[in-house]
Amino acid sequence: MNDVKENECVQRLNHSFQFCRDLAYKSSSSFYAGMAQSPTDKRDAIFSIYAWLRLIDDIADDEALSAEQRAAKLRKFSAYTQEILCNSCKNNSESKENFWLAFYHTVHHYQIPLEYFSEMIAGQEQDLIKHDYKTFAELYDYCHHVASTVGLMCIHIWGYDNDPKSRQMAEWCGIACQLTNILRDINSDRKSRHVYLPAEFVGKKELTSDQLADIPHDLLMQGISTLIKKTEYYYQNSLQLYHAINPDSRLSFLYIMYKYKTLFEKIRHQPEAIFKPIKIKLNMLEILKLYFVVNMTRLKSR
């Protein structure tokens, strides 16, 4: 009887991981390709985290609800997540569905600190009510919540040398990637009344979306240039994390960071492109180069 129950548990867990795997494949081919560079167990673990993150995004992006309703829903989801992680999902019928079993297994197996999850949700909730940033310190805090926490989760799964300096670099990797997204989306974010460019970068005490439209172009470009320099700093001081990660997962890190840094370099070399109607993205040649770099690194590491 115990063997039967154990087999049922294993089957449910495998089904949960398969759900996460399918979701990652359907939702983000580039993310899937990057994570596929890691061993199957670590890849699937990150897919379970991805499934949890996707649900948060779905809540935050639900335009059928007001910002206040979405924030309330995020708080409820945060409480439910903590309940699952701090207790057990075995006796909760809802948690047996979809990604929860895989997520629970991943968090406990890899001993991921629970505060990363509450910080992530807090960052998403903040984004619903805070639309502009006075200082870079404020922006850094936001980036830490919505991006650095993901990097910190990943290194627990990939395995790393447990050095505090490595955790700092994982935080900075998240900052660099999120600032890249912010730079790319400055123009489109303005349409949704979000301004992530710190007001202090253009000599202002505050900078709303309406005020951003009135900033002289030269002054605006100076502010963007300052943000570009900040982003470059975090790339330069975080990429050595590659050597602190377990060798079997380094290529996943390389793939993701090379992709974001290549995108950043396009912005750095042509910041005016931010204001073009077509969003900046990697072209086919750059994607092929990305695969080439990763595969060459794999061959050299053998």
Per-residue pLDDT reduced to its tens digit, 225-234 = 999 999 999 9
pLDDT for 35: 86
Q: At 90, which helix (H) or strand (E)?
A: none
**What is the mean predicted confidence (pLDDT) over 101-118?**
95
* Residue 185 phi, psi dihedral angles, 5° rounding: -105, 15
Q: Please write the tens of the pLDDT for every residue from 55-70.
A: 999 999 998 999 999 9
Query: How many helices and strands, by DSSP H and E, does the chain display?
Result: 14, 0
pLDDT for 179: 98
Does the pLDDT value for residue 93 go beyond 50?
no
Higher pLDDT, 31 or 49: 49
DSSP state of 240: G
How many Cβ atoms from other residues are within 10 Å of residue 221's Cβ?
17
How many Cβ atoms from other residues are within 10 Å of residue 104's Cβ?
22
pLDDT for 91: 46
Query: Can you tell me the distance from the alpha carbon of 72 to that of 62, in angstroms, rounded to the nearest whole number?
Result: 12
Query: Can you tell me the distance from the alpha carbon of 204 to that of 189, in angstroms, rounded to the nearest whole number?
Result: 19
Q: At 42, which helix (H) or strand (E)?
A: helix 40-60
Q: Identify any residues that bridge with 195 across adjacent strands, giving them in sequence order.
A: 132
Return the sign of the alpha-carbon dihedral for residues 99, 174, 302, 24: positive
Instruction: Judge if pTM exceeds 0.95.
Output: no
Does the pLDDT value for residue 88 go beyond 70?
no
Tell me what percent of the residues of the chain surpass a pLDDT of 70: 92
What does the angle CA 74 – CA 173 – CA 58 come to, to the nearest 5 degrees? 25
What does the angle CA 200 – CA 202 – CA 207 come to, to the nearest 5 degrees? 70
* Residue 245 phi, psi dihedral angles, 5° rounding: -85, 150
pLDDT for 73: 94
Residue 213, Cα to own-chain centre: how many angstroms?
29
Question: Looking at the domain covering 130-302, what would its CATH class be?
Answer: mainly alpha
pLDDT for 8: 77
What letters, b where the CB count within 10 A reaches 16 and e where it falls short, cover 143-163?
Answer: bbbbbbbbbbbbbbbbbbeee
pLDDT for 261: 94
Burial of 210 (0-12, 13-18, 19+ CB in 10 A): exposed
Tell me what percent of the residues of the chain surpass a pLDDT of 90: 71
DSSP state of 277: S
Domain ranges, ordered by start, for the chain: 1-111, 130-302
pLDDT band, very low/low/confident/very high, at 4 (cuts 50, 70, 90): low
pLDDT band, very low/low/confident/very high, at 97 (cuts 50, 70, 90): low
**What is the mean predicted confidence (pLDDT) over 116-122?**
96
pLDDT band, very low/low/confident/very high, at 5 (cuts 50, 70, 90): low
Q: At 244, which helix (H) or strand (E)?
A: none
Task: Round the average pLDDT of the chain to a whole number and report it.
Answer: 90
Distances in whole angstroms, Cα of residue 122 to Cα of each of 17, 77, 208: 26, 11, 22
Q: At 47, which helix (H) or strand (E)?
A: helix 40-60
pLDDT for 300: 65
Q: Please write the tens of the pLDDT for every residue from 260-296.
A: 999 999 999 999 999 988 889 888 888 887 777 777 7
pLDDT band, very low/low/confident/very high, at 190 (cuts 50, 70, 90): confident
